[in-house]
Amino acid sequence: MARHIKLTQQGDCHKWAGIARAAGDAILRVYNSETWGVERKADESPLTRADKEANAVICDGLAQIAPHIPIVSEENRQVAYDMRKGYQYSWCVDPLDGTKDFMKRNGQFTVNIALLEGGHPVLGVVAVPVDGTVYWAAKGQGAFVQRAGHEAQQLQCAEVDLTQPGLVVVASASHLTPETQEFVAQLREPSFKQLGSSLKLLMVAEGIAHVYPRLAPTCEWDTAAAHAIVEEAGGVVALTRREPVQYNKESPLNPFFVVYGQKALP
């Protein structure tokens, strides 16, 4: 067990950040090329050469550094739940979160790498390829961001009260559901921002946004890494019934959830 838990120590986060950066470089090489090799998955979501090449970088890197921990990636063949349910630790990976935003060339896509202990993320790394920013967190060690050319800074969520006016709400640019609109309508004079990929959770972790209602479908690999970062920054990622979001479930789909800054649970 000790060899697994060592992975969550702060110094080790730089190893995982290096893998995420390398995956981001692979994505940018495709992003700046003329051939993306776009395919369609069974659910009609897009798959590009960037997804595949970033996935190869991440899986190779994790296998070299932590060969004893299984990898569950959006782009790998999915492991049967009968086997996964026994995992004490596992990686949860989205090599390119925001493929649609990648194809729109708006820069709002990320590389997500999380370490799960059972059903909970205990380490998370998110890289933003277009500007070189990397976020990371480890359980009990805090959450941090490092922008290109700058020293790392610790993250802290904003303290919020859902009854106060002027809260900053961040929501999906492509999944603005009636449920989300109803949630926002209950707030007093909120300001509203829309953004793609896991960047929305990170806005809460940075204190830029107060709340992120995700009342639309997501998968575990979309959220696990940023979930760890939000929690270490003092925030909460919870179901609308207040229970925490769980991972390594039989289905990779997340239930609807809300991301809150500090002291914001109703």
Q: Using the structure block, give the residue that is written with the tokens 């120590």.
A: 9
Contact 19, 58 (CB under 8 A): yes
Task: Find the radius of gyration of the CA atoms of the chain.
Answer: 17
Q: How far apart are CA 127 and CA 41, in angstroms?
A: 24
43 annotated as a binding-site residue: no
94 annotated as a binding-site residue: yes
39 annotated as a binding-site residue: no
222 annotated as a binding-site residue: yes
199 annotated as a binding-site residue: no
3-state secondary structure 156-186: CCCECCCCCCCCEEEEECCCCCHHHHHHHHC
Token couple for 212: 């992120």
**Of residues 213, 207, 173, the one with CA closest to residue 193:** 173
Binding residue positions for Mg(2+): 74, 94, 96-97, 222
Instruction: Please report, in range form, the residues annotated as the binding site.
Output: 74, 94, 96-97, 222
